[in-house]
Structure 1
């Protein structure tokens, strides 16, 4: 009887402690899930202080110690975990490195420091020198794509190949998302259940491709995004309507590395016509329009994107088709990588 009583007391104390732990920081629940996903994949979490900034990244080794290194830069409001589905599709063919960009996720946010394309590109160059073993295949999604383009242009010695997925940084055909940004708003802002649904509908073309979010993950994410609202707005002011909003497109003409451009055909954030604008400026670009996918093509069609990445890294360089290089507001027809 006494043993049962103490077992019950211990259980109640554990539940109360867990409830208090989550009450203090509900986002801990999502961090715990991210940790589970990392462990399942056999990835290792690493920290490094580079040029005075603390970076956190995950790393997965390749079967072959001499395999190329792929470094993956997430997009606006994203994190290193956005790459896990694509990592699964790539398998252990390459060494995979996915950092949280400074200011995002677990990496350090330096007060008063800029987080636009130029500042982040400089930090990424430092990260590559510290973490990579020779030139890397640099991949970037959305905001991360714009940053990757600037890195490849300004630091060609660090980047052997470039992959831009639904990349920001060029003046694309105006859509609802662009109009809200130019009007000073943040279409990605999340402060309640309705705005969370709106945010996800912007990102994903297919509902079934969204990451699962059982209760209480949704409320935890909403609470976290409320806390991040001021920082998110400041970054959007820099990359969405600041002086360097088109810096990646301007720097693209200096990119000489073999480059893959991949876009979701139903991207509601960055119109697919942006792919053609990038292709017209990058001499060795090949383009892939991903069907039945929105802004998160890396999550909605990871096998398709992975096949195109393998073709770029291991295959023969091929130029983009004429229509893809021409650009235009309606979105290009493209040559699809196998």
Structure 2
């Protein structure tokens, strides 16, 4: 009996009880936080993906905006800096599968464009091709003031990259355009809806979220699984962003600057990679040939069995194409 009483006050038992109580409080606090903002689950998954890709997180002020970007400096001395730019409704996380395959070979910078993801958005600002191109140039100069970078862009990001490379050739050594917007491609359902004033990527409920995923992905296994309540958080976030998304589409999809990237691409003389997926239902694959007409030096890669999200559906093939772009001497025969 005395021994049992003695154990009740034993320091180890007291510490264990304290740890259990603390854990219970932490779990309860997390449950409350998720209930108040289920998007925290999405953010937590993004953090997990960044760490798994071997990337760190940083912030920088450039062009009057706070940028958040993922990065890796795990590369040989003198390795080129590669900047990866996401597309419409996208974020830096879209590039993580490719970045993971390039880490250790190049210095990597993967930003959220201003207005998107974790980067700053300012009411009333212009976030179209031209304005974002100027901001991207400032970001590049801030992070790589001594040497030009390899600039890669997906979808809307491709249009932004094309303008940046054309207007600021001293800052951009090589260019990669992946399923890039900015030219008058062959008519498809997506383009018709944009011209009709709609947002084909709009998300307001579970069914429109599934439609969005089905539109941008062709490979079923590549589609992200978004279980409840994370799906609720993502839907609520996209609802709040609906007005912003429409304002961007007004410029890049329906406005006077929508074909400007393709028009100015003729001024791009750096080595270029053009990569598309044959089953892209957003930016029709005919866009590759239209860009190639303006940049005869471009290497052209058409992948089979993938949709608009080439960088997530076929990261091995995309990474290999990027390595060829960077490592092939200028003037070599294009593929």
Normalised to the residue count of structure 1, the TM-score between the two structures is 0.90
Aligned equivalent of 2:318: 305
Q: Deviations over 1:136-186 (max 9, x none)?
A: 000000000000000000000000000000000000011000111110000
RMSD: 1.8
Contact 1:285 1:319 in 2 (8 A): no
Aligned equivalent of 2:43: 31
Q: Deviations over 1:74-107 (max 9, x none)?
A: 0000111111111122231111100000000111
Aligned equivalent of 1:274: 287
Q: Secondary structure at the match of 2:113?
A: coil
Change (3 A) 1:167 1:319: farther
Q: Secondary structure at the match of 2:90?
A: coil
Task: Please state if 1:88 is matched with 2:100.
Answer: yes
Contact 2:55 2:72 in 1 (8 A): yes
Aligned equivalent of 1:167: 180
Contact 1:266 1:294 in 2 (8 A): yes
Q: Secondary structure at the match of 2:218?
A: coil
Aligned equivalent of 1:257: 270
- Tell me by how many angstroms 1:312 deviates: 1.2
Q: Secondary structure at the match of 1:164?
A: strand
Aligned equivalent of 1:21: 33
Matches within 5 A, 1:171-182: 171-182=184-195
Among candidates 122, 125, 132, match of residue 120 of structure 1: 132
Q: Secondary structure at the match of 2:173?
A: strand
- Tell me by how many angstroms 1:258 deviates: 0.6
Q: Distance in 2 between matches of 1:83 and 1:297?
A: 10
- Tell me by how many angstroms 1:218 deviates: 1.9
Contact 1:171 1:246 in 2 (8 A): yes
User: Which is higher, the Rg of structure 1 or of structure 2?
Assistant: 2
After TM superposition, where is structure 1 displaced by more than 3 Å over at least 4 residues in a row? 1-13, 316-320
- Tell me by how many angstroms 1:12 deviates: 4.6
Task: Please state if 1:69 is matched with 2:81.
Answer: yes
Contact 1:284 1:318 in 2 (8 A): no
Aligned equivalent of 2:205: 192
Contact 1:60 1:97 in 2 (8 A): yes
Q: Distance in 1 between matches of 2:125 and 2:56?
A: 28
Count of residues in correspondence between the two structures? 321
Aligned equivalent of 1:44: 56
Among candidates 112, 120, 142, match of residue 108 of structure 1: 120
Normalised to the residue count of structure 2, the TM-score between the two structures is 0.91
Q: Which runs of 5+ in 1 are unaligned?
A: 321-336
- Tell me by how many angstroms 1:6 deviates: 6.5
